[in-house]
C-alpha cells in the first residue's frame, strides 16, 4: 500500500473507447495531447486525446498520406515523417484538420526519431532527425521551421 502512495506508481487513469488505432505518438513536448494514427494513403486518420482529462478532442479526422514513422510537436508546429521518406511540418494554430503543410521535403532515409534542442543565447534552436540508415540530420530553426541547408552527421 505504501508504494501505491508514491507519485511514480503506475495505475490506470482512464479507459478510452477510441476504436482501433495502429500507432500512438506521445511525448512530453506534446503537452497533454496524445495523437493516435490509423490507416494508410487515402484511409489515414488521426485522433487526439487529452491525457489530463481523458477527453477525445478529435476523433478519426481524415489526413491522407503514407504511414507515419515519427512525429514531434514543437511549439505551434507538428513535425511528421513518413515511411516514404517525406517530412511534413504542419501549423497547429488550426490543427483540425491538418490540411496543407507549411513545409514539406524529402529525406535520404526514413526518419525514425526526432529530438528538439531549444535556442541558446549564441545559437538557433535545432532539430536532430535520426534516420534508418544511421545518418542524423541537423536542422536549424527559425520560427519553428527549418532553414534551408541541413547538416548531416554520420554514425558509420
Q: Could you tell me the residue range of the domain that residue 86 belongs to?
A: 3-153
Cα 78 from Cα 96, distance rounded (Å): 12
At 88, which CATH number?
2.130.10.10
Confidence of residue 17 (pLDDT cuts 50, 70, 90): low
Mean pLDDT of 3-25: 64
End-to-end Cα distance, the chain: 50
Task: Please state the domain count of the chain.
Answer: 1
List pLDDT tens digits, range 97-145: 677 888 999 999 999 999 999 998 889 999 999 999 989 999 999 988 8
List pLDDT tens digits, range 19-48: 555 666 665 656 677 788 888 888 888 888
| Residues contacting residue 87 through CB under 8 Å, at least 6 positions apart | 79, 80, 81, 103, 104, 105, 106, 107, 111, 129
The closest alpha carbon to 90, from 144, 45, 140, 43, belongs to: 144
Can you spell out the DSSP letters for 82-147?
ETTSEEEEEESTT-SS--S-SEEEE-SS-EEEEEEE--BTTB-EEEEEEETTS-EEEEEEETTEEP
pLDDT at 64: 86
| Residues contacting residue 96 through CB under 8 Å, at least 6 positions apart | 58, 61
Distances 85 to 20, 65, 69 between C-alpha atoms, Å: 25, 12, 9
The closest alpha carbon to 24, from 57, 64, 56, 71, belongs to: 71
Amino acid at each position: 500500500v505504501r508504494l501505491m502512495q508514491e507519485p511514480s506508481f503506475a495505475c490506470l487513469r482512464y479507459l478510452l473507447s477510441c476504436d482501433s488505432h495502429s500507432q500512438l505518438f506521445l511525448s512530453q513536448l506534446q503537452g497533454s495531447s496524445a495523437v493516435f494514427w490509423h490507416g494508410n494513403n487515402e484511409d489515414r486518420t488521426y485522433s487526439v486525446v487529452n491525457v489530463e482529462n481523458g477527453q477525445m478532442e478529435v476523433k478519426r479526422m481524415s489526413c491522407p498520406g503514407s504511414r507515419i514513422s515519427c512525429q514531434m510537436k514543437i511549439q505551434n508546429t507538428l513535425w511528421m515523417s513518413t515511411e516514404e521518406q517525406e517530412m511534413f511540418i504542419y501549423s497547429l494554430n488550426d490543427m483540425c484538420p491538418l490540411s496543407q503543410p507549411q513545409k514539406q521535403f524529402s529525406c535520404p532515409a526514413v526518419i525514425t526519431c526526432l529530438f528538439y534542442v531549444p535556442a541558446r543565447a549564441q545559437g538557433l534552436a535545432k532539430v536532430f532527425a535520426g534516420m534508418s540508415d544511421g545518418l542524423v540530420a541537423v536542422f536549424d530553426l527559425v520560427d519553428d521551421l527549418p532553414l534551408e541547408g541541413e547538416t548531416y552527421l554520420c554514425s558509420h
